[in-house]
Amino acid sequence: MQFDTSMLIPVLPEIFILTAACVILVVDLFLKEEQRVISYGMTQISLLLAIVVTLMTAPAETRIVFDGSVIRDGMSDLLKIAIYIISAGAFLYSKDYLKDRDLFKGEYYVLGLFAVLGMMVMVSANTFLTVYLGLELLALSLYALVAFDRDSANSSEAAMKYFVLGALASGMLLYGISMIYGATGSIGFQAIGEGLANPDVNKMVLVFGLVFVVIGLAFKFGAVPFHMWVPDVYQGAPTAVVTFLGSTPKIAAFALAMRMLVDGLGGLHADWQYMLVILAILSMGLGNVFAIAQGNIKRMLAYSTISHVGFILVGILAGTTKGYTAAMFYSIVYAVMALGAFGIVILLSRRGFEAENLEDFKGLNERSPWFAAMMLLVMFSMAGVPPTVGFFAKMFILESVVSIDMTWLALVGVFFSIIGAFYYLRIVKLMYFDKPVDASPLEAGIDTRIALSVNGLSMLALGMFPAGLLSLCSAALS
Amino acid sequence: MEKIYLLIVLAPLIGAIIAGFLGSKIGRAGAHWVTSGGVGLSALLSIYVLLQFINGSTGIYNDSLYIWMVSDGIRMEVGFLVDQLTAMMMVVVTFVSFCVHIYTIGYMAHDEENWPKGSLAGTNSYQRFFSYISLFTFSMLMLVMSNNFLQLFFGWEAVGLVSYLLIGFWSVRETAIFANLKAFLVNRVGDFGFILGIAAVAMYTNSLDYAEVFKLAPGLADTQISLIGGTEWSLMTVICICLFIGAMGKSAQVPLHVWLPDSMEGPTPISALIHAATMVTAGIFMVARMSPLYELSETALTFVLVIGATTALFTGLIGVVQNDIKRVVAYSTLSQLGYMMVALGVSAYAAGVFHLMTHAFFKALLFLAAGSVIIGMHHDQDIRNMGGIRKYMRITWITSLVGSLALIGLPGSSGFFSKDAIIEAVHHSSIAGSGYAYFAVVSGVFITALYSFRMYFLVFHGKGPRDEHAKAHLHESPKVVTIPLILLAIPSLFIGMFTVGDMVFGEWFKDAIFVLPEHDTLSAIGFHGTWAFFTHGIFGLPTLLAASGVAVAFVFYIKKPELAESWKKRFESVGIYQILDKKYGFDETYQALFAGGSRGIGKLLWNVGDKGLIDGLIINGSARSVDRFAGWVRNIQTGYLFHYAIAMILGLLVLLTWFVIA
């Protein structure tokens, strides 16, 4: 491999985040307890600067460096920027929550930044090896984050389950990769793509490997039946962690699917299309139906995630640029919606009190009409009510499958969305039509207030003007 | 210019938003300043735009400002088309709206008395009213300035919404709620046709943009489509009639006219603004704007003509027997809208639009004057209780006289030019139905004069008000009420003579309105200058009929009131009076047939379909089964790690067997 320094430029964002994480780790050592906010500030500034670095180093055309390991293209840039912004939002929401519970530690932010780095590597991966590297970096950071409140039995249990199942899924993914390597003799995506075109290649082995790869992916997404960890982790982990874990990793998972299935195994589209059909239908169906039966808001949102994942998979399985664009739009929008929903859950929690049950939303309108309205927007968006952005996200997905003559799948999606609308609207009903159990006013810092307002109103703004984000997405994929 | 157009549209919207959302903060004065200021600014800028067009220093503007979305190649956008027609409409809308804003300050000054004490709806009602009328101005401007069908539809529905809100403004009155519901439902019928028309346009031209559709239209003139029952229809006829059904709802044409008289339940300023001067003329404007489509279908033109002529004559007749001052003016509005439609039907679009403009001024004037009388009479609206008011309210009296004279077409006044142009155009038309229309519009002139001056004499002349108490308190309204009257009286008298040459017979509309040479009735009239038109008209049949209408009114209601009584008895004995009094029974029929019928069907569906099938079986049934299923499957989520792992392995096995083995 020829090395020259210009190869470092495409990976500068990753280098920057890595450096920032290390610097914060060291600086944090020398901080007093009450100065912890400096680590927080540095993390946010790093994420902000990462946007600048990413924009400044954005290449005019796709660049593949380090012997084909890393790719820097329009998609990676857009997704990374979305990851920075949404992660920063999650860190912002979690600040007060962590402070109230004596969890306000530098490690949280360092682990968070490492997770961001892992996602960045995934997004820019161009070989199975790089994919795996990013995936594990993200997963290990998340395991630790889930167990962050280590005195809590629930958190530890959740982390344990997540870890064991994650290890199982990683094992399956690696096994699948080895099969594909065996059949094509390569782990680079371009090389695999060429290998698939070769008529001598053993189709049986390939499909065998493909099944394992898809399962690894499905676990990352939390698609049924590889979703079992999702509700337990969402419920057990501290809400602050769930805010992070429930939002950005969906974007990374989308990138994972694009890199592995489309870039690498695009030649097997006919095979993985039907695998994803099964996963998508099961996810949309069970996710929505299970969510209805939940009384715990975090569990409910966990099942809601699963159903949204089903929708993202529908977009990917369409196998057309239109479908990928729609799925990309959906995953970014979903991350923003999830961020808003958990932001409100965090807002409702106080020292010594976890807002976990649906009852805690009762009469929110009387306690704070503004935040109730924000939650209303987020819920409408999740349910897909126009003119919120959730409607357009769903519509683009449905359009993309209708255009490949799979109208029946669109109908299935619509059918389950209707079922899903029930539990989102139930929250709205609780907020607006029930009397509050606990009438104490909500306290929040000005930063949280502004962020939540921006977050909620973005549902409306993106819904009124969906063309902007959509054209960004389609430009990133072309 | 683009910035100016945006400002014209947005200034009223901003005013409406501020007055609506911050009404309690800025108070009453704040609300009327901010909204009147916004609309005043729009009016000034609109006049500026019009002047630019008159001296030719600006051309037609047609551009899209924002693409909302593109679906299947159809662009949905926000854009403006500003040509001579639009510029004229913008001035009419903003000018009348501005007058109405000023007038409202006086008219609504004691609005709190109209609400039960301490009611929530009555709080800040003054600010809310201003917010609504400003919002209306915004919507109407969006409608007239649109360059595409989607925005037209947006404006169309938005003005309908505000009209609904304002008719039912006094929401504690049952009659007001009945009236606004009626207006809403009747307009639904019209809008259904309208949206079908737009859908047909989009389907066959794959565009919503006016310019593109008009360019493609001639190519589609011979297209036939088959509708229900396999009958063949000309596409253009279907499109035009569908669109016209929308216009029938909005512009209150027979048989969809029933909502307009009831809409008088709303406060008088909005009757003047929405239900006389602007919103109800949206249908006229729309047909004129669509002239490139209507010209391609003589069937549709005949349809427009016959509906218009029927409305013009028969609703005017009802006006003769009404006793509520506002309802007389409302029926007169219906009849005048009919005149405008007739003009459109004979392809004299310019004359129709010209009458729209003159009518906007004098009818707004008549309504506002009626409102001034109502203020003076302490909200008694029965003209039989009035009389001799001229002695107490000089300005209202004079301006009302001006308005009435313009309405009946006193030679030289605005109404004279616009109405004569229409009648002459019908006379020169050879399209099917023009004979009937000529009869209707000419006899309509007599009817118009009769009911206008019946009202005028009963209100302003004769002996003073019956009620001594009312008489004692009768005095002229405040300046904010009378100044708009004077402002409107001026164009009511004079605008016609200065503009008729250019607007109706000249080149003014040549780029905005399209007329086929064989339909061009206006140039068939042969115009030789305003003066010649005037002298010709003085001795024409319409003027004669108008004069005799006034004379009959004078004899019946001033000279020999007993004569009116005996004629009334005579008509009663043959049943004509009752027919008119019942307004041909439209209301009763609709209520029995449509309202009653749909309630019957609704009840049936509710009992059998909704309660039994949907609620019982599908909703509750499926909800129960979803619930049961969810309760059952949640047992799968046991919380045990090994169960989870098993589920994953099972999933793997299923996928493997499905895709690898099979």
Would you state the pLDDT for residue B390?
82
Would you state the pLDDT for residue B657?
87
Peptide bond connecting A59 to the previous residue in cis, omega within 30 degrees of 0 = no
Cβ burial, residue B113 (10 Å; 0-12/13-18/19+): exposed
CB-based contact A180:A206 (threshold 8 Å): yes
A77: Cβ–Cβ under 8 A, 6 or more apart, which residues? A54, A55, A58, A476
Residue A307, pLDDT > 90, answer yes
Q: Write down the mean pLDDT value for chain A.
A: 91
Residue B396, pLDDT > 80, answer yes
Which helix or strand (DSSP H or E) is residue B184 part of? Answer: helix B174-205
B346: Cβ–Cβ under 8 A, 6 or more apart, which residues? B301, B305, B425, B426, B428, B429, B431, B434, B437, B519, B521
Size of interface A-B (CB pairs under 8 A): 76
| % of chain A surpassing 70 pLDDT | 100
CB-based contact A180:A196 (threshold 8 Å): no
- Smallest Cβ–Cβ distance between B648 and the set A168, A207, A231 belongs to A168
A42: Cβ–Cβ under 8 A, 6 or more apart, which residues? A20, A23, A24, A27, A109
Contact criterion met (CB < 8 Å) for B645 and A211: no
CB-based contact A236:B616 (threshold 8 Å): no
Residue A232 forms contact with B (CB below 8 Å): yes
Q: Encoding tokens for residue A477?
A: 């994929």
DSSP annotation of A225:
T
Per-residue b/e over B561-583, b at no fewer than 16 CB within 10 Å? eeebeeeeeebeeeeebeebeeb
pLDDT tens-digit readout, B543-571: 889 899 999 888 888 888 787 788 878 88
DSSP annotation of A35:
G
Q: Which residue has the tokens 């989520």?
A: B637
CA distance A444 to A170: 40
What is the band of A399 on the pLDDT scale with cuts at 50, 70, 90? very high
For residue A289, the distance in angstroms to the closest alpha carbon of chain B comes to 6
Residue B646 forms contact with A (CB below 8 Å): no
Residue among A232, A255, A173 nearest A473 (CA):
A255
In the stretch 136-165 of chain A, residues with CB closer than 8 A to chain B read 160-161, 164-165
Rg (CA), chain A: 21
Residue A169 forms contact with B (CB below 8 Å): yes
B517: Cβ–Cβ under 8 A, 6 or more apart, which residues? none
pLDDT tens-digit readout, A150-196: 888 889 999 999 999 999 999 999 999 999 999 998 999 999 988 88
B367: Cβ–Cβ under 8 A, 6 or more apart, which residues? B268, B271, B272, B276, B326, B329
CA distance A4 to A1: 10
- Smallest Cβ–Cβ distance between A207 and the set B68, B637, B660 belongs to B660
Mean pLDDT value of segment A113-117? 96
Any domain includes A271:
yes
Residue A401, pLDDT > 90, answer yes
In the stretch 62-81 of chain B, residues with CB closer than 8 A to chain A read 67-69
Nearest CA in chain B to A422: B623
For residue B641, the distance in angstroms to the closest alpha carbon of chain A comes to 6
Nearest CA in chain B to A464: B68
Would you state the pLDDT for residue B289?
92
CB-based contact A127:A187 (threshold 8 Å): yes
Beta pairing, strands A70-72 & A63-65: antiparallel
Can you name the residues that pair with A188 across neighbouring β-strands?
A: A127
A66: alpha, beta or left, given left = phi > 0 and alpha = psi -120 to 50? left
Residues of A in contact with B634 (CB under 8 A): 290, 293
Q: Please report, for residues A192, B325, B371, B408, B489, the alpha-carbon distance to residue B396 in angstroms, rounded to integers and kept in the order given.
A: 89, 14, 10, 18, 10
Q: Encoding tokens for residue B34?
A: 């901010």
Rg (CA), chain B: 28
Residue A284, pLDDT > 90, answer yes
Residue A331, pLDDT > 90, answer yes
CA distance A449 to A447: 5
Residues of B in contact with A219 (CB under 8 A): 648
Would you state the pLDDT for residue B65?
86
pLDDT tens-digit readout, B428-485: 888 888 899 999 999 999 999 999 999 999 888 877 676 777 777 778 888 888 888 9
Residues of B in contact with A293 (CB under 8 A): 627, 630-631, 634
Would you state the pLDDT for residue B42?
94
Residue B472 forms contact with A (CB below 8 Å): no
Q: Which residue has the tokens 């239109």?
A: A322
Would you state the pLDDT for residue B191?
92
Could you give the number of structural domains in chain A? 1
CB-based contact B374:B325 (threshold 8 Å): yes
CA distance B22 to B31: 9
What is the band of B284 on the pLDDT scale with cuts at 50, 70, 90? very high
Would you state the pLDDT for residue A222?
92
What is the band of B374 on the pLDDT scale with cuts at 50, 70, 90? confident
Cβ burial, residue B502 (10 Å; 0-12/13-18/19+): middle
DSSP annotation of B638:
-
Q: Secondary structure of chain B: what % helix, strand, coil (to 5)?
A: 75, 5, 20
Nearest CA in chain A to B627: A293
Mutate one of A170, A202, A228 to test the B interface: name it (highest B CB count within 10 A).
Answer: A228
- Distance from CA of residue A96 to its chain's centroid? 22
Would you state the pLDDT for residue A316?
95
Would you say the C-alpha torsion B522, B525, B529, B533 has a positive or negative sign?
negative
Q: Encoding tokens for residue B413?
A: 């006044």
CB-based contact A381:A463 (threshold 8 Å): yes
Contact criterion met (CB < 8 Å) for B645 and A466: no
Which helix or strand (DSSP H or E) is residue A121 part of? Answer: helix A106-123
The alpha helices in A318-406, defined as continuous H runs, are 321-348, 364-367, 369-383, 389-402
Would you state the pLDDT for residue B23?
82
pLDDT tens-digit readout, A134-149: 999 999 999 999 999 8
CA distance A130 to B507: 73
Residue among A325, A337, A334, A338 nearest A75 (CA):
A325
Residue B634 forms contact with A (CB below 8 Å): yes
Residues of B in contact with A208 (CB under 8 A): 656, 660
CB-based contact B440:B312 (threshold 8 Å): yes
CB-based contact A165:B645 (threshold 8 Å): yes
- Smallest Cβ–Cβ distance between B631 and the set A275, A293, A466 belongs to A293
Nearest CA in chain A to B70: A467
DSSP annotation of B230:
G
Nearest CA in chain A to B653: A211
Any domain includes A1:
no
Mean pLDDT value of segment B262-290? 88
CB < 8 Å & 24+ apart, contacts of B506-512: B508/B84, B508/B350, B509/B84, B509/B85, B509/B349, B509/B350, B509/B353, B511/B60, B511/B83, B511/B84, B512/B60, B512/B83, B512/B84, B512/B85, B512/B86, B512/B288, B512/B289
- Please tell me the number of Cα atoms within 13 Å of B90 on its side-chain side: 32
CB-based contact B567:B556 (threshold 8 Å): yes
Any domain includes A3:
no
Can you name the residues that pair with B232 across neighbouring β-strands?
A: B226
Would you state the pLDDT for residue A352?
73
Residues of A in contact with B620 (CB under 8 A): none
Domain holding A259, by residue range, is: 9-477
pLDDT tens-digit readout, B626-644: 777 777 766 777 778 888 8
Would you say the C-alpha torsion B609, B612, B615, B620 has a positive or negative sign?
negative
Contact criterion met (CB < 8 Å) for B652 and A211: yes
Give the ipTM: 0.83
Residue among B571, A266, A309 nearest A301 (CA):
A309
Higher pLDDT, residue B375 or B141: B141
Residue A172 forms contact with B (CB below 8 Å): yes
- Please tell me the number of Cα atoms within 13 Å of B266 on its side-chain side: 32
CB-based contact A179:A206 (threshold 8 Å): yes
What is the band of B607 on the pLDDT scale with cuts at 50, 70, 90? confident
Q: Encoding tokens for residue B8?
A: 């014209």
Any domain includes A4:
no
CB-based contact A321:A423 (threshold 8 Å): no
In the stretch 210-229 of chain A, residues with CB closer than 8 A to chain B read 210-212, 214-215, 218-219, 225-226, 228-229
Residue among A216, A301, A228 nearest B640 (CA):
A228
pLDDT tens-digit readout, B227-260: 777 778 888 999 999 999 999 999 988 888 888 8
Q: Encoding tokens for residue A106?
A: 């530098």
